[in-house]
Structure 1
Amino acid sequence: MNMDKQFQQWTIAHQEQSWSMARFLLKDEAEAEDVVQDAFIRLWQHRDTLSEARVKPWLLRVTRNLCLDRLRLERPRADSGPDELAGGEEPLASMQRSREGQVLQAAVMGLDEPYRSLVIMRDVQQHSYEDVAATLELSLPQVKTYLHRARKTLREQLTELRP
């Protein structure tokens, strides 16, 4: 298959997941669009070296790393709050509207890496354990262990907030 057509198929197949991750991590649609564009430029530059099976984890890893780079540069802004969850999924939209959803999102965003990315990818975006492991370059047991720790931390934080 022609590489241009292959790249177009990859773009269609993975742009929503990449944008959803960027939007969740950055909490800014314009910045998320910039990051995703940068990630797809890098995908174009590496299209000859990637196999079909490696495109999704590679692209999500690049997107995540670009987001983390931006967050490191700008540090938390005083006016930023838990504005949006990932990409237009109905259960997430209803959760966001509730106070509990806002508290949960703030708690997730307060997690250190890689815990934050694990929770976002597995629990919010519902990627498979295998996809999460490949994207974050962790072993499957590491993903399960770190995810357990992240959920435990969230549970403890949320328990402390209850009256």
Structure 2
Amino acid sequence: MSREYQKWVREHQDQAWSLARYLLKDAAEAEDAVQDAFIKLWNHREAIDPERVKPWLMKVTRNTCLDRLRRRKPEDEVADEHVVEHQGPAAGAERGELGRWLKKAIEGLKEPYRSLVILRDIQQHSYDEVARATELSLSQVKVYLHRARKQLREQLAEVRP
């Protein structure tokens, strides 16, 4: 295995897993999706500009997750109370009551809003990286993020005392 590929895995595996975990709501399935994304990265490693690995990988991870969600049958959905939480990179953000409300509110967002919030606000990718990962224009990313944040504020305003 090339050293460059190993470096890419070390640098990006936590963010790819976090994105997949938020989108799929299932730790085991998120791990499978990330593994699929890294296999695609390995298969395309010669054609990818090393400066663009991160947005490329986030795009592939997101698309892999969306494909998995489309294939799910309604009875395959896992109820939130049965999900076993994996202590991954987002574990700190999930602590506390507000964290649980925020996580639930983010999970309730429709695509592409959910992906945009995860990529930009949680993982703190640049707007350009988010645009490349989601295949949206920069202006679409900004407009959709504004709408997503507004929906989150409205949902959280309902639960705040």
TM-score range, shorter chain: 0.7 to 0.9
CA offset at residue 144 of structure 1? 1.1
What residue in structure 2 maps to residue 141 of structure 1?
139
Contact 2:22-2:107 within 8 A present in 1 as well:
no
Contact 1:7-1:44 within 8 A present in 2 as well:
yes
What residue in structure 2 maps to residue 58 of structure 1?
56
Distance 1:36 1:78 in 2: 19
Task: Give 1:14-93 correspondences, 5 Å limit.
Answer: 14-74=12-72, 75=74, 77=77, 79-81=79-81, 87-89=88-90, 93=92
Match of 2:112 among 111, 114, 137: 114
Contact 1:26-1:67 within 8 A present in 2 as well:
yes
Can you give the 5+ residue segments of structure 2 that lack an aligned partner in the other structure?
A: none
Write out per-residue CA displacement over residues 28-75 of structure 1, whole angstroms, 9 at most, x where no aligned residue.
222111111111111111112111122111111111111112222224
CA offset at residue 96 of structure 1? 2.4
1:11 maps to a residue whose letter is V
Distance 2:86 2:110 in 1: 18
Alpha-carbon RMSD: 2.4
What's the % identity of the aligned pairs? Answer: 58
The structure, 1 or 2, with the larger RCO (C-alpha pairs under 8 Å, 6+ apart) is 2
**Residues 78 and 38 of structure 1: is their aligned pair in 2 closer, same or farther, counting only changes over 3 Å?**
closer
Distance 2:84 2:147 in 1: 25
Distance 1:148 1:59 in 2: 24
Distance 2:8 2:87 in 1: 20
Write out per-residue CA displacement over residues 66-108 of structure 1, whole angstroms, 9 at most, x where no aligned residue.
111222222472523587599435xx62x52322222221111
Distance 2:102 2:129 in 1: 24
Distance 2:160 2:80 in 1: 24
Instruction: Report runs of 4+ in structure 1 exceeding 4 Å deviation.
Output: 81-86
CA offset at residue 27 of structure 1? 2.5
Contact 2:27-2:85 within 8 A present in 1 as well:
no
1:77 maps to a residue whose letter is E
Distance 2:28 2:80 in 1: 14
**Residues 147 and 86 of structure 1: is their aligned pair in 2 closer, same or farther, counting only changes over 3 Å?**
farther
TM-score of the two chains, using structure 1 as the length reference: 0.83
Can you give the 5+ residue segments of structure 1 that lack an aligned partner in the other structure?
A: none
